[in-house]
Amino acid sequence: MHRNLLTCVCHSALAFIFVSGVGLSKDNVPSVDFRYAFAAPHRITVALPDSSNKTLLDATPGKLEMSWTYEDLIYYSFKSFWTPPTKWKVVIQPQIDGHPFSQSKWERSEGYLPILRNSYHDNGGDLVLEIGGGDTAAITKIRLANSSNRNETMALRCEVPGGLAGYNPAWVDNEKAADHLLAGWGAPADQVVILGIGADENPLPGSTVLTMKWNLKPGESREAWLIRPYKNEESDVAVLRKKNWADEFERAKKEWVDLLDRASRVIIPDQGVSKAFYACLADLFIMREPIAKGYIATIPGTEAYRSAPNPFETAIVAVALDRGAITESDGTRWISAVPGKATGSRYGVLKALFPTGLLSPTDKLIDGTLKYIERNMSPGGIPVRTGWMKDGMWVAITLDNVAEAHLARNEGDVAARLLYATLNHGTPLYTWCEERGQEPNTQKTSGDRQHLWTPVAVVRFLRDALVMEEDDHLHLARGIDRSWLASGKAVGIENASTHFGLLSYHFSLDQMKSKLAGEIDFPESKTPYKAILHCRLPRNFRVVGVDKSSKASLSVDGEALEWDNPRGTISFQARVGLAK
């Protein structure tokens, strides 16, 4: 009885220490809030996976720009850097009672799909644009709601800027319908640029404008469509008006959901990080499309770098040559991207550690390179002067090079901090430009406005943070943020492909019982290996014991559970206590 009482007292004391915030105060719990996003417009590209029919959507407070090209990469040489020109643009401005909505925001549909949800709000009601790429068109689902107790008028003004490239046929012939725009030149003859379906009226304020107008009673909601056909001419308009666009829109959404459901399922308590993984994974398929001779190519961006291949980035390989190292006055030696050159890009230099393994994690040259890169950090926690912009940042390097190097050195706290810094320098659409200035809402950007490299780095880093191979070692949860276990929710991954076979695991912390418990489905590997589960608990806490039935051993520092040649399903329960 006394022993049980003592156990209860100990558990209660530890629970009090946990919940009182020792080792992990609220100030230390990171969040994804995009506080360092660059200035609008913020871009997302919508299309089906591996599609040539891409539509660029640039969101700005109060309006949206839709742009595209009727060309694709199939007829472009893949031997040179040559990009299809984005010649077409429509400026879309929602209005209520004749003026712009007072509030607007943008996000991905479902939080992660490559489908834009652009919401507008005012005292009189709401208008929401949900835009995705379908089989035959870029489809905008328009939802309107009058939340007031009076009649409201809402409108969508859609204008092709820059002359008569796109014109309204009703402006030329007043007997024709004013619900669509046609291409005057710069596209196949009489190509339908956009078509509006479901409006009460189509006022005609200008030659290159399509206006959709609705008269809503108090409490009334409506639904309509704005269509950008990929390959339809004026003679198709009557058929397009009757088409079931809701069906094509839902099919497109389902195609993305089904594709991403085939991926490993990450179990991350922070939904901002979890959504980042799937949003970035989706964009890897946005940035693929057919090229000549039946191939599918990866493109480094959706406009400025829409080329296959981009001869600069896809062929860069990091080679660490000691003869190319720079020596500072204090004796620090670091690797430059070009032997002997102290300026310019820092791309790839830390790949000498990971994944190439040319240098060890403890090599002095790796120490010096990290020290050099991290000696200039932005207010948002990103290394500065890593690219071509003066005092600018190549955000992707933060994860792709620096965080991965820290992960390989078992410096999980630094790696996790760099993950959050990277996500918070993206837009609310989980998109990044290539290079940018340091300050929030910066106007200084360069390269493609939706660049491939950062999404690749996010997907790769989160996978490595959850499961990472290193020779004959399999590291689990090596780079998770300490706040994830502290939340009490499960952390892990399902159906992850590894060098040793398929793996699934999950574990969680019960603070009230001072217990860490979980289950691991280890690969049935014929190759001997050692598995290490990193128990990244709140600071000042360690694992102090583990049940014998798990066959796990405790690392010397109490921060990991280890197994030699594990196979099959293993459950474990570990005791947690204060670090000595």
One domain, residues 209 and 354? no
Regarding predicted confidence, which is higher, 138 or 351? 138
Please indicate, yes or no, if residue 17 is contained in any of the structural domains.
no
pLDDT value at 255 more than 80:
yes
Question: Is residue 543's pLDDT more than 70?
Answer: yes
Specify the pLDDT at position 6. 40
Q: Which of 464, 479, 514 is the last residue of a domain?
A: 464
Same domain, 124 and 219: yes
Which two structure tokens, joined as six digits, stand for 49? Answer: 């996976």
* Any domain includes 266: no
544 plus 482 within the same structural domain: yes
| Last-in-domain residue among 415, 441, 464 | 464
pLDDT band at 26 (very low <50, low <70, confident <90, very high): low
On whether both 457 and 551 belong to a single domain, the answer is no
Task: Give tens-digit pLDDT for 373-409.
Answer: 999 999 999 999 988 898 899 999 999 999 999 999 9
Domain hosting residue 441, numbered range: 310-464
**Residue 331 — very low, low, confident or very high, per pLDDT cuts 50/70/90?**
confident
Q: Which residue has the higher pLDDT, 80 or 416?
A: 416
The model's pLDDT over 454-510, given as tens digits with 9 standing for 90+, comes to: 999 999 999 999 999 999 999 999 999 999 999 999 999 999 999 999 999 999 999
What value does the mean pLDDT of the chain take? 91
Per DSSP, which regions of 114-174 are E strands? Answer: 116-122, 125-133, 137-146, 152-159, 166-167
Domain-located, residue 31: no
On whether residue 431 sits in a domain, the answer given is yes
Instruction: Quote the pLDDT of residue 315.
Output: 34
Phi, psi of 395 (to 5 degrees): -60, -35
* Residue for token pair 């008269």: 215
Residue 6 in domain? no
Unique residue bearing structure tokens 């550690």: 353
Query: By three-state DSSP, how is residue 248 classified?
Result: helix
pLDDT > 70 fraction of the chain, expressed in percent and rounded: 93
Pair (98, 206) in one structural domain: yes
Whether residues 253 and 319 share a domain: the answer is: no
Question: Same domain for 243 and 94?
Answer: yes
For the segment 41-48, the average pLDDT, to the nearest whole number, is: 98
Dist. CA 43–CA 15, nearest whole Å: 45
Q: Do 502 and 379 belong to one domain?
A: no
Q: Are residues 214 and 360 in the same domain?
A: no
The span from the CA of 408 to the CA of 395, in Å, is: 20
Structural domain contains residue 183: yes
What's the total number of domains in the chain?
3
Check pLDDT > 90 for residue 165.
Answer: no
- Does residue 542 sit within a domain? yes
Does a structural domain hold residue 297? no
- Amino acid present at 400: D
**Nearest CA-CA partner of 349 in 450, 339, 27:** 339
**CATH code (residue 481):** 2.60.40
Average pLDDT of the residues in 507-515: 97
Give the residue carrying structure tokens 């090079």: 401
Average pLDDT over residues 249-254: 98
Question: Which DSSP state fits 344?
Answer: S
Does residue 363 sit in the same domain as residue 427? yes
pLDDT reading at 78 higher than 80 = no
Where residue 106 sits, what CATH number does that domain have? 2.70.98.10
* Domain boundary pick from 260, 281, 296: 260
Task: Please tell me whether residues 384 and 416 are part of one structural domain.
Answer: yes
Residues 451 and 477 in one domain: no
